Amino acid sequence: MRVRIDLMWQRLSFRTQLFLPLGLSFLAALAMGGVLLQTFATGQLADENEPGRRSTRTVAIALNDALQASDDPHKVLNAFVRSLGTSSDIQFHSVEAGPTPSIRDSLRNVHGVPQWFVDLIAIPDLDAASPVIIDGKHIGDIVFLPNLSADLFEKWIGLLALAGFMAMLTALTGVAAFAFSGSVLHPLQRLGEGLTRMRRGDYAGPIPVGGPPEIRQSCEEANALAATLARLSDDNRDLLHRLVSLQDEERRALARELHDELGPLLFSIRAGSIALSEAVPEAGNLGKPMQDMMRSVEALQQTNRRILDRLRPLYIEELGLAASVQTLLQNFSRQAPQISLTETVDPDLNAIGGPLAQTVYRVIQEALTNVLRHAAASTADVQVVISGDTLAIEISDDGGGFPEGNVFGHGLTGMHERVRALRGSLSLLRADERTYVRCRLPLGEARSLT
């Protein structure tokens, strides 16, 4: 239970956590005021009306003495009743009039005071009834019935004044707390927004420094952390760029070895096989094995060309990036005629070279390889467009998509490193029953690294 309450409390906003205790304090103070009023009002009313009670007993004793000494006690009694009037707290109540009235009966519908407040006050026992005797017969009582309306109205006004004072104090405290919370929350919100930008990799915008000293120190430390992360990010990007450059250099060297060493050997074997087949009669036993060997050599040459193309696309330097991409798409269509391919290739791609051109080619190549091997797709779409200072690549297909939790395979992981080295972004997503590989490359940043 306590854990649930703690969780509920933690979900509340800072202002709610601040103002909720203030409101509860106001209600507690108001309840305490009501309890104190009820406690002390009873004793105060009793003390204020005690002289009236004593006077009632004294008047009753004097009246009885006068009635006993008078020849016409009823006449004396009537004169006494007329002398009391209706506004006096001391009244004569005859036996014939019924039960003796109480103070509670006179406290109904007190003007200006709600009945619940009257019922809340513990009215003390102020009733003082002294019997009036004529000729040994009880004919009535002298009763003390004070009018407490003014006293109750005074206490009601006191409670209202207390509540108003507490409300005003709470309001002033709330305004001050609101202003204070604003001076704290706004810097904290800016700090949180800055940390969110840092989490997304944006270290350029500094966090405004403001608020109390503790928050200002946190903002300064966060800015210092952002500067450190920016330097580390630049160093990491430079390291990735050097690593990719080394990989490309190693691939070029390996491609050169395969082209210069293995290519001539395969060509020599094929030429020798052709010469040998021409020298051997067709009816000989070597005819069919010779044809199989020539087909194997031709397959080896095609495999060598595919490996060379994977290691280093030779067309980029001679034909340009746009023509190389078109050649790549044509090869894909020949390898997968069952997939309907649509394409949009910006002709301005030919102006791009160096690592950027290599990266664009590799991203398209790797994405199409995944479509061919894993997607089981019927349609594919390739778009390579330059918009301003950004080069956008999008390859989509209607295949089965990627397994849940699998974002990048080995090939796309290498492409992601290449894209990061050029300050770009690479994403893989599934939407509208299609799989999308999207790449964004800043042309200015990429050209500065060539």
Q: What is the pLDDT along the chain (450 residues), one digit of tens a residue?
A: 666 766 666 666 666 766 777 777 777 777 777 677 666 766 666 666 677 777 777 877 887 887 787 778 888 778 877 777 665 677 777 777 777 666 666 666 667 777 777 776 766 665 567 788 887 788 888 877 777 777 778 777 877 887 788 778 778 877 777 777 777 778 888 888 888 888 877 777 888 888 778 788 888 888 888 888 888 877 877 777 777 677 767 776 776 677 667 777 777 777 777 776 666 655 455 566 767 777 777 777 777 777 766 666 555 767 788 888 888 888 888 888 888 999 999 988 888 887 888 888 888 988 888 888 776 788 999 999 998 889 999 999 988 776 555 545 556 677 777 788 788 888 888 888 888 999 999 887 544 444
C-beta neighbour count of 106 within 10 angstroms: 13
d(CA 361, CA 349): 11
Per-residue pLDDT, 124: 60
What is the set of domains in the chain, with CATH numbers? 2-174 (no CATH), 318-450 (3.30.565.10)
Q: Which residues contact 224 (CB under 8 A, 6 or more apart)?
A: none
d(CA 407, CA 403): 8
Q: What are 307's two structure tokens?
A: 């490996």
**Residue appearing with tokens 């990007």:** 237
Let me know the angle formed at the C-alpha of 131 by 130 and 134, rounded to the nearest 5 degrees. 145
Per-residue pLDDT, 448: 45
d(CA 450, CA 446): 7
Diameter of the chain by CA atoms? Answer: 178
d(CA 271, CA 260): 17
pTM of full prediction above 0.85: no
d(CA 82, CA 96): 18
Question: Within 13 Å of residue 163, how many CA atoms lie on the same side as its CB?
Answer: 11
d(CA 286, CA 128): 145
Per-residue pLDDT, 403: 58
C-beta neighbour count of 446 within 10 angstroms: 24
Span 347-388, pLDDT tens digits? 888 888 878 888 888 889 888 888 887 767 889 999 999 988
Per-residue pLDDT, 384: 93
Q: Which residues contact 108 (CB under 8 A, 6 or more apart)?
A: 115
Q: Which residues contact 97 (CB under 8 A, 6 or more apart)?
A: 140
C-beta neighbour count of 60 within 10 angstroms: 22
Edge-first strand listing for the sheet containing 137-144: 90-94, 137-144, 129-134
Three-state SS across the chain? CHHHHHHHHHHCCHHHHHHHHHHHHHHHHHHHHHHHHHHHHHHHHHHHHHHHHHHHHHHHHHHHHHHHHCCCHHHHHHHHHHHHCCCCCEEEEEHHHCCCCCCHHHCCCCCCCCHHHHHHCCCCCCCCEEEEEECCEEEEEEEECCCCHHHHHHHHHHHHHHHHHHHHHHHHHHHHHHHHHHHHHHHHHHHHHHHHHHHCCCCCCCCCCCCCHHHHHHHHHHHHHHHHHHHHHHHHHHHHHHHHHHHHHHHHHHHHHHHHHHHHHHHHHHHHHHHHHHHCCCCCCCHHHHHHHHHHHHHHHHHHHHHHHHHCCCHHHHHCHHHHHHHHHHHHHHHCCCCEEEEEECHHHHHCCHHHHHHHHHHHHHHHHHHHHHHCCCEEEEEEEEECCEEEEEEEECCCCCCCCCCCCHHHHHHHHHHHHCCCEEEEEEECCEEEEEEEEEHHHHHHCC
**Residue appearing with tokens 């160093």:** 235
Question: Within 13 Å of residue 251, how many CA atoms lie on the same side as its CB?
Answer: 16
What phi and psi, each to the nearest 5 degrees, are found at residue 158? -65, -40
Q: How far is CA 154 from the centre of its chain?
A: 52
Span 268-302, pLDDT tens digits? 777 777 776 666 655 455 566 767 777 777 777 77
